[in-house]
Structure 1
Amino acid sequence: MRVPQKLLEHWAVSSQSKACRNAMLAATILAQHRAEILDVDEFFSTRFPAVTQQRLTGHG
């Protein structure tokens, strides 16, 4: 009866490790995407300040 318990313990640890890696990967991808969005917003706000201001205030 020891073998199934060890397999179960190994599966639990392995599953938790994979879930943690997946969560870190997802957080990294989201952070990169957010940085890209901020970069694009900055680019457009320096070239079209009136449009950016309209977007921020909800006018236009």
Structure 2
Amino acid sequence: MAEINWEEPFCGEGNNCFRIGTDAYGKAYIALAGQEETYLTDSREALSTLIRDIKAGKADHLL
């Protein structure tokens, strides 16, 4: 398993906190803060789009 370099947690309104990370191969990961062992993975572009949509309030119900 590749080592994941996690960024600082992003916390939206309330207690919705998540982290995004990348590995040496450029693959991106997203996880709830504090639960990084259980993550989703996709391209960095796809996860960045998800985060932008969450920040814009388009997908807040997913958290």
Q: Same fold (TM over 0.5)?
A: no
Higher relative contact order (CA 8 A, sep 6+): 2
Q: Which has the higher strand share?
A: 2
Pair member with larger Rg = 1
- Normalised TM-score (structure 1): 0.27
With the length of structure 2 as denominator, give the TM-score of the two structures. 0.26
